[in-house]
Amino acid sequence: MTIVVYQKPTCTTCRQVHAMLKDSGVDFDAVNYYVDPIPKSKLLELLTKMRITPRELLRTKETIYKTLKLAERDLSDNEIVDLMVKHPDLIQRPIVEKGARAILARPRRPLERDSLRRRATSRATRCERAPDPACAHPASRFSACWSVACRDRMPELQPPSPFPPTRRAPG
C-alpha cells in the first residue's frame, strides 16, 4: 500500500513531514496539489478517510478565507469543498493517505506518533498516546497501544505491538 502526501512544497510543516518520511526510509508519493489540483471526488474521499468535515479542513488564517468572508457565511459542506477545489490555499496541509485511512499531519506530531517511522524499539515503555492517563499498556516507543481505550485512528501504519492487547472487563 502506497503512502501519498498531499502538500505544498514551500510549507514548513510539509517540508518537515517530507524530510521525516524520507529520513525514515518510508516509501511515499508526494503530490503538490498546487501543481496537480485535488479533484472534488478525491477531496471528498480524503475527508471521509480523515473523518472530518470540510469546515474542519479549512485554513482559517489564509487571506482568501478572509476575502471570501467564510467565517460569516453559512455554507453547506458541498459548497466548502467546491471552494477548496477552486482555491487550494483553503486546504489544511499536509494530508497523509494510506489505503483506507488519512490524517491531517498538522502539527506533524500525529504523524510521528502514528509511526510511519519504521524504527520501532524493543524497549517496553508506557504507551505515549494513551488518552486515558491511567493506561499503563506497554508498547514499543513508536508503536500504538492496542488496548481498546488507546487504539489509534491509523493502526495499519504501525507495526504490531509485541505485547498482546489488554482487555477490559465490561461495565
Which residues are annotated as catalytic? 11
CA dihedral 88→16→57→2, nearest 10 degrees, is: 90
What CA–CA distance (Å, rounded) separates 147 from 130?
9
**DSSP state at residue 132:** S
| Residues 6+ positions from 149 with CB-CB distance below 8 Å | 130, 131, 132, 135, 168
What CA–CA distance (Å, rounded) separates 49 from 122?
31
Written as one string, the DSSP assignment of 27-65 is: -EEEEETTTSPPPHHHHHHHHHHHT--GGGGB-TTSHHH
